[in-house]
Chains A and B, each alone.
Chain A
Amino acid sequence: EPEVTQTPSHQVTQMGQEVILRCVPISNHLYFYWYRQILGQKVEFLVSFYNNEISEKSEIFDDQFSVERPDGSNFTLKIRSTKLEDSAMYFCASRQGKTEAFFGQGTRLTVV
């Protein structure tokens, strides 16, 4: 069964460093998303991507964040200068259209 895959599963980084989280969405899906979940809190929307551009972003998705789809398969989230409060689980999700969204297994980001 097709699935969304994310790498790495766990990333530890020092404050101020750049991190890139990677995702391979389901191949025939058109809409791609990044969400995050701080420990004990709810799943929060960061950004959506469609037709090679950002279609919507939340207040969380400030200038420190960027997304890219560098080729036909990968979808990346970059955090330029990480802060302690960026520590969270980051989930990638994809949808074919106006249908269900499927989530990857997540990347646990720990900023020290």
Chain B
Amino acid sequence: QKEVEQNSGPLSVPEGAIASLNCTYSDRVSQSFFWYRQYSGKSPELIMSIYSNGDKEDGRFTAQLNKASQYVSLLIRDSQPSDSATYLCAENSGNTPLVFGKGTRLSVIA
């Protein structure tokens, strides 16, 4: 049974700070990793995908993957109150369905 683990939070950061969200996964053959943002009552919205070890940057977001440690992270620079949401980590291999973590609730304090 594949598992994706996330700290449920809440993680509170002041506006303008860096928010660091972490995720571990159980399946060593997992190939693809995704971060989704979910506002309360809304659907998951894709923020980042990462497939190889290292860092991937997109605007204020940086995803980091370490397959040896089975660890994925998401950094949000210059956090804004609008970033307050639940961040879902997900993984899959090839065409298998996404397996989601429970999500980390982020609160950015103005």
Contacts and interface: CB of A to CB of B under 8 A. Distances in A.
Q: Is the interface of B mostly helix, strand, loop or mixed?
A: loop
B98 interface: yes
Interface residues on B, range: 20 to 34
B97 A45 contact: yes
Contact of B95 (A41, A97, A102): A97
Interface residues of A, number: 27
Interface string B51-95: 000000000000000000000000000000000000010100011
A56 B103 contact: no
A41 B102 contact: yes
B95 A105 contact: no
B44 A98 contact: no
B43 A100 contact: no
